[in-house]
Structure 1
Amino acid sequence: MTLDDSRQILDIIERLFEGPGAGEYLGEEVTQAQHMLQAGALAEAAGAPAALIAAALLHDVGHFRGEISGAELMAGTDNRHSHTGADWLAQWFGPEVTEPIRLHVAAKRYLCAAEPDYFGQLSPASVHTLVVQGGPMSEAEAAAFAAHRWGADAVRLRRWDEAAKDPQAPTPHFSHFRPLLAQLLSR
């Protein structure tokens, strides 16, 4: 992949943050872009590996890539944004980035089953979408998730996801993450 190719890919992703990402985020007090940028910043502050920082940053890009938007999700139709986003990003990033993204909705369902107190940490919008996305996992589903190769990373991402909804939090610009993303692009 050439430097120009990398720039073009990152420009495409950045435009999603500046365009659709500037919109309302499922009834939260932050925009979708602020939410994702805060998630990336939380992962970075936690000392996460570069791939997991990228996953936290890009975890909701599927809201911009599918035919069903976040508005439909709030209206009761699961947009499967985790899978849509992971599939789209897999053109350029490896599974260490895409698989935690693919599993971040499942991680919410897992945490609600495995840690009953986690449900109380969910915002009202997350409670609503949890129901649309299948509710807490069964015991068998939770056991399978816990054994999944990318399950632990998805749980870390999910915790940052839920915490990244603070309208007062300092939020870096997308440009802050460009060098990290450029290093992770499949060569």
Structure 2
Amino acid sequence: MELRSVEELMDLLHACRGARDTPDLSGSRLRSSGGTRVGDPVDLHEHALQTAALLRRGRPSDKELQVAGLVHDVGHLLRPGDDAGHADHAADAVRPLLGERVSRLVRLHVAAKRYLAATSPGRGPSPQGALTPTGQGDAMTPREASAFERDPLAEDAVTLRQADDAARVVGLDAGVM
């Protein structure tokens, strides 16, 4: 699916309200509105807003990075259940509307998770992020990490990943961060 208008993008972002695609403590995945179970973080809408707000605070002049933070997980809605491919689905969908850089940052946010797992093993992802590494790949090998570091967008992708990991605070108003 390609997003061809701001209206389509806004509809997709609106559909993120109440949707969850993170494991609960039993390992099952939630993808629909409804009651919150133990272990559920914020819904995808809140997560998107928090990610973008953290990036706005840390990199106020980089609007494309902020937009990538807003749309990085929409692939969970485009192909429910495909955790490993969610970044690719989102990147492909937003490219026509938001451009190549935003698309590449969205695509790289999972690789950045694997990179950080390899280069900062003590850093530890968020509790929710720690539950999903196998669906998105294990820590990068040294060769993969070296190749990732050569990507011109690697640093920005790591920044996006760090905001992604931090943007899971239930009840936080992203507008006042």
Moved more, 139-148 or 92-101: 92-101
Give the corresponding residue for 1:102: 107
Per-residue deviation at 1:53? 0.5
Question: Could you tell me how far apart the structure 1 residues matched to 2:112 and 2:5 are?
Answer: 28
* Residue number among 39, 44, 53 corresponding to 1:41 in the alignment: 53
Tell whether the 8 Å contact from 2:47 to 2:168 is kept in structure 1 after alignment.
yes
3-state secondary structure, aligned to 1:135: coil
Gaps of 5+ in 1: 1-7, 173-187
Match of 2:63 among 22, 25, 50: 50
Q: Deviations over 1:145-164 (max 9, x none)?
A: 11112111110000000000
Number of aligned pairs?
A: 155
Q: Aligned AA for 2:59?
A: G
Deviations 1:63-102 (CA, angstroms, capped at 9, x unpaired): 1122xx1xx35xxxx4411111001111112222111100
- Kindly indicate whether residue 109 of structure 2 is the aligned counterpart of residue 113 of structure 1: no
Which of the pair has the greater relative contact order for Cα pairs under 8 Å at 6+ separation? 1
For normalisation by structure 1, the TM-score amounts to 0.77
In the other structure, the counterpart of 1:122 is 126
Residue deviations 1:13-51 (CA, integer Å, cap 9, x gap): 122222244212414321110001100010001124011
The 8 Å contact of residues 72 and 109 in structure 2, kept in 1 or not, is answered as yes
Mapping for residues 155-170 of structure 1, pairs under 5 Å: 155-170=158-173
**Aligned equivalents of 1:25 and 1:166: distance in 2?**
15
Q: Which has the higher helix share?
A: 1
Local SS of the residue matching 2:173: coil
Could you tell me which amino acid in structure 2 is paired with residue 65 of structure 1? L
Structure 1 43/108 Cα, relative in aligned 2: closer, same or farther at 3 Å? same
Task: State the match for 1:31 in structure 2.
Answer: 43
Match of 2:154 among 145, 151, 156: 151
Give, as a single letter, the amino acid of the residue that structure 1 aligns with 2:125: Q
Once residues 54 and 108 of structure 1 are traced to their aligned partners in structure 2, the CA distance between those partners, rounded to angstroms, is 19
What is the TM-score normalised by the length of structure 2? 0.81
AA partner of residue 19 (structure 1):
A
Structure 2 unaligned blocks of 5 or more: 25-39
Percent sequence identity over aligned pairs: 32
Q: Give the SS at the match of 2:131.
A: helix
RMSD between aligned alpha carbons? 1.7
Q: Indicate whether 1:10 and 2:6 are aligned.
A: yes
Paired residues of 1:63 and 1:79 also in contact (CA < 8 A): no
Contact 2:105 / 2:153 at 8 angstroms: preserved in 1?
yes
